[in-house]
């Protein structure tokens, strides 16, 4: 019997996107339900202890929360294997996956800054996490294009959504940041060109992300083109 999966999401949530990337990379069929973040339904609150997404419902009976737990469950239950076979490499991947919140926070706090001054100050802080990843990518002992080499892995799925969000932000306000880290830039380019990543969001994700900046009244929102938002509303 085929297992039925339902992924609960907000349209712009990068943590849900991480789970969706793993599902896509493993070619696991799934449905997706979008939750209104301002009016979270009771059924969702019952299965999400933190009242957050993602939640993966399994056959309408079980529900997993937290993107890392979902990714590891899928790794154990669905082929192909995305973790490295070597135990040390696998542990190293898990360690760098645990670094994702630090990396994500640096990008998110910049994107959602409330003023130009705050934006500039937060943008400078991205150099630290970016440098750590640049160093890690340099120690892989391979030429890429992914974290471990030619094979896409769970650590790639974990970073892809946040490198995509950085790219969205960089197109609104060019920062000249990632260009200082050529390995990270090349990794970003490879991830965003990967089929599983491209298929992991709504089709107009960049415009929807920009709409969210406006709804949350962030400083970066003033740089959003009205023509882009019009296209988003029509989609």
54 and 13 Cβ atoms separated by less than 8 Å: yes
**25: nearest Cα among 127, 144, 156:** 156
- Spatial distance between the Cα atoms of 15 and 13, rounded to a whole number of angstroms: 6
32 and 20 Cβ atoms separated by less than 8 Å: yes
Hey, is 200 helix, strand or coil? Answer: coil
| Token output for 27 | 């070619």
95 and 47 Cβ atoms separated by less than 8 Å: no
Q: Which residues are catalytic?
A: 13
Instruction: Report residue 149: phi and psi, to 5°.
Output: 130, -135
**Beta-bridge mates of residue 56:** 7, 64
**16: nearest Cα among 71, 59, 77, 60:** 71
Cα 100 to Cα 73, 108, 144, 215: the distances in Å are 18, 12, 19, 26
Integer-rounded Cα Rg, in Å, for the chain is 18
């Amino acid at each position: 019997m085929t297992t039925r999966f339902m992924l609960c999401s907000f349209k712009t949530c990068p943590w849900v996107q991480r789970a969706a990337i793993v599902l896509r990379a493993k070619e696991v069929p799934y449905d997706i339900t979008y939750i209104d973040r301002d009016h979270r339904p009771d059924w969702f609150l019952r299965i999400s202890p933190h009242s957050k997404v993602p939640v993966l419902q399994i056959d309408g009976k079980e529900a997993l929360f937290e993107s890392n737990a979902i990714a590891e469950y899928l790794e154990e239950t669905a082929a192909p294997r995305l973790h490295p076979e070597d135990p040390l490499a696998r542990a190293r991947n898990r360690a760098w996956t645990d670094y994702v919140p630090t990396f994500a926070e640096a990008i998110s706090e910049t994107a959602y800054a409330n003023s130009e001054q705050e934006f500039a100050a937060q943008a400078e802080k991205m150099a630290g996490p970016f440098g750590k990843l640049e160093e890690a990518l340099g120690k892989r002992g391979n030429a890429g294009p992914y974290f471990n080499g030619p094979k896409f892995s769970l650590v790639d799925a974990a970073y892809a959504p946040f490198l995509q969000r950085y790219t969205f932000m960089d197109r609104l306000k060019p920062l000249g940041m990632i260009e200082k880290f050529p390995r990270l830039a090349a990794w970003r380019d490879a991830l965003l060109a990967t089929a599983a990543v491209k298929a992991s969001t709504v089709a107009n994700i960049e415009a929807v992300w920009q709409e969210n900046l406006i709804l949350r009244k962030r400083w970066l929102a003033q740089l959003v083109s009205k023509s882009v938002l019009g296209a988003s509303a029509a989609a």
